[in-house]
Amino acid sequence: MAGIYIHIPFCKQACHYCDFHFSTSLKQEDKMLSALKVELILRKNEMKNTTIETIYFGGGTPSILKVEDIEWLIGLIKIDYQVSETAEITLEANPDDLNPEYLKALSKSSVNRLSIGIQSFFEDDLKLMNRAHNANEAKTCLEQATQYFSNISIDLIYGIPGSTNERWIENIDTALGFNIPHISSYALTVEPKTALEHFIKKGIIANVDDDLANEQFHILIEKLNQNGFVHYELSNFGKEGFFSRNNSAYWQGKPYLGIGPSAHSFDGTTRGWNINNNSKYIKSILNHELPIEIETLTVTDAYNEYVMTGLRTIWGVSLDKVERDFGKDYKSYLLSQADNHLKNELLYIEENKLLVTKKGKFLSDGIASDLFKINT
């Protein structure tokens, strides 16, 4: 079982907080589509004996593409790869691209799941983040999308400077009003070299407040739990039957093929990442050369990744798996490093799995790093 990720590296405008790879110029769109086709063909043998269970269009902004181009790419995948009849096929979309005509066409395509970048229902939050959509579009796109799709996820951002807990609660309630089955939610993070970092340094935007973000994260957990969502990964909440199969596969260490500039791939032992430059990517691929760097994971890398992802999920870190895959020494190391966090009730063990407590949830990445082994 494996997945295919396709990176569509175009956006209408640059969100202030974003450090993903994208271009706001669409000049190379046609060439990019040709290059994606060639990369899919060049790499088909990497997934030769595997069934593709998930296809994910991420970005960038995949909904910038015409529906016929999306369906064309899916068709190409179906020619060269064994795609399961029940594959989850997700399209990331921005509210300003989703009108009834587009949604109707999309609902007739092979796409069966939408992940919509709502982020906030408040106009000033959207302006502060320089999103391309407005508050009205955030709501109307959901009214319309729910008429065509039942499997919908939305992204919401908390800890936005100037936000209050009352406004955050209103954002969550508005989202719940649309009866969608999946929500991904992230704290606003100040990434290096972003416009957000620049504006904070200049004093134009107030800095993010970790305490506010922590409070809003706990409000989110409580409200979504009350409304039947399972908090199955640190940033992801889903109703039963609607967990993201694509992301769950990443977290469970399943292989995936990343197509497009900056896309990452994993085959179980090696990790690869494509060049994050549109022109160089196109030139290289059209010359039939893969612009990819590859690293082989050491046992220690694989252990660290498993601990990091395991602690973020409700599946936890299985002590049996650590012993089986990495050896007794790793299990002893893990337990000795976890000792303090167990005593401080940030971690607990249940059914031989190491899990974070409610108190430990906001700190889980830091806790995981205490359990890492250093490569020697």
Asked if 60 is part of the footprint of ligand SF4 (rule: CB under 6 A), the reply reads yes
Residue 307 near residue 326 (C-beta atoms within 8 A): no
As measured in angstroms, the least distance from the Cβ of 130 to ligand SF4 is: 8
**Other C-beta atoms lying within 10 Å of the C-beta of residue 197:** 17
- Report residue 5: phi and psi, to 5°: -110, 130
**Pairing mode, strands 2-8 and 256-259:** parallel
Query: What angle, 0 to 180 degrees and rounded to 10, lies between the N-to-C axes of helices 67-80 and 29-42?
Result: 10
As measured in angstroms, the least distance from the Cβ of 330 to ligand SF4 is: 37
Stretch near ligand SF4 under the rule CB under 6 A, chosen from 40-48, 58-66, 250-258, 363-371: 58-66
> x/- string (CB under 6 A) for ligand SF4, residues 113-152?
----x-----------------------------------
* Continuous segment of H or E residues that includes residue 252: none
Asked if 195 is part of the footprint of ligand SF4 (rule: CB under 6 A), the reply reads no
As measured in angstroms, the least distance from the Cβ of 13 to ligand SF4 is: 7
Nearer to ligand SF4, 59 or 260 (CB): 59
In angstroms, the first-to-last Cα distance of the chain is: 33
Asked if 291 is part of the footprint of ligand SF4 (rule: CB under 6 A), the reply reads no
Alpha helix locations (H) across the chain?
Answer: 29-42, 67-80, 100-107, 123-128, 135-148, 165-177, 195-201, 210-226, 245-251, 278-286, 299-312, 319-326, 328-343, 364-371
CA distance 357 to 342: 9
Asked if 187 is part of the footprint of ligand SF4 (rule: CB under 6 A), the reply reads no
CA distance 342 to 320: 18
Asked if 61 is part of the footprint of ligand SF4 (rule: CB under 6 A), the reply reads yes
Binding to ligand SF4 (CB under 6 A) within 93-112 occurs at: 94
Stretch near ligand SF4 under the rule CB under 6 A, chosen from 18-26, 65-73, 76-84, 200-208: 18-26
Stretch near ligand SF4 under the rule CB under 6 A, chosen from 57-65, 67-75, 186-194, 224-232: 57-65
What is the binding site for ligand SF4 (CB under 6 A)? 11, 14-15, 18, 20, 22, 59-61, 94, 117
